[in-house]
Amino acid sequence: MTICFGENLKNLRKSRELTQEALADFLGMSFQAISKWERGETYPDITMLPTIASFFGVTVDSLLGTDMIEKEKQINEYCDKYSRLWNGNKIAEARDMLKTAITEFPGNYDLLAKYFNALIQAQHNDDYLLSIKAEVQRVYDTVQNYCNVDSIRIWTKKLMCRYLRDLSLIKNSGVDIAEAEKILEQLPVMQNTRDYEAMYMYPHDDEKRAVACANGISEMLRLFGEIMNRKYKNFLDADSDISEAYINLVEKVMPDGDYGKSHYLMVINHHRLGVKKFVAGDEKAALEHFEKGLKLAKSYDEMPDILVHTSKAVKGLEFDKTKAYRFWEGSFFEDMKDGLMRRTELTEEFKNSEEFKNMIENI
Fold category of 4-64 in CATH: 434 Repressor (Amino-terminal Domain) (1.10.260)
Please work out, in degrees rounded to the nearest 5, the angle formed at the alpha carbon of residue 117 by the alpha carbons of 174 and 262: 115
| Helix, coil or strand: residue 171 | coil
The tens digit of pLDDT for each residue in 99-148 reads 999 998 888 899 999 999 999 999 999 999 999 999 999 999 999 999 98
What are phi and psi for residue 319, nearest 5 degrees?
A: -110, 120
pLDDT band at 2 (very low <50, low <70, confident <90, very high): very low
Helix crossing, 263-279 with 242-253: angle to 10°?
Answer: 140
In whole angstroms, how far apart are CA 253 and each of 200, 258, 292?
21, 10, 18
Helix (H) / strand (E) containing 307 = strand 306-308
Main-chain dihedrals φ then ψ at residue 160, nearest 5 degrees: -65, -40
How does pLDDT run across 227-258, given as a tens digit for each residue? 988 887 776 765 668 899 999 999 999 999 99
Quick one: what percent of the chain has pLDDT higher than 90? 67
Count of CA atoms in the C-beta half-sphere (13 A) of 257: 9
Mean pLDDT of the region 288-300? 97
- The average pLDDT across 25-35 equals 88
Three-state SS at 319:
strand
Axis-axis angle for helices 4-15, 66-87 (nearest 10):
110
**CA 195 to mean position of chain CA atoms:** 14
* 217 contacts 253 by C-beta, under 8 angstroms: yes
Determine the average pLDDT of the residues in 41-58: 86
Average pLDDT over residues 179-191: 94
Residue 89, pLDDT score: 83
pLDDT computed for residue 67 by the predictor: 61
Q: Is 243 exposed, middle or buried, given 0-12, 13-18 or 19+ CB atoms closer than 10 A?
A: buried
Name 59's Cβ contacts closer than 8 Å, sequence gap at least 6. Answer: 53, 67
Max alpha carbon distance in the chain (Å)? 92
Partners of residue 318 on adjacent β-strands: 308
Residue 327 or 259, more confident: 259
3-state class of 241 per DSSP?
coil
Q: Where are the domains of the chain?
A: 4-64, 89-187, 195-361
Confidence band for 1, pLDDT divided at 50, 70 and 90: very low
Cα pseudo-dihedral 21, 24, 30, 32, rounded to 10: -60
Instruction: With cut-offs at 50, 70 and 90, classify the pLDDT of residue 214.
Output: very high
Distance of CA 359 to the CA centre of its chain: 35
Judged against a pLDDT cut of 80, whether residue 70 lies above it is answered with no
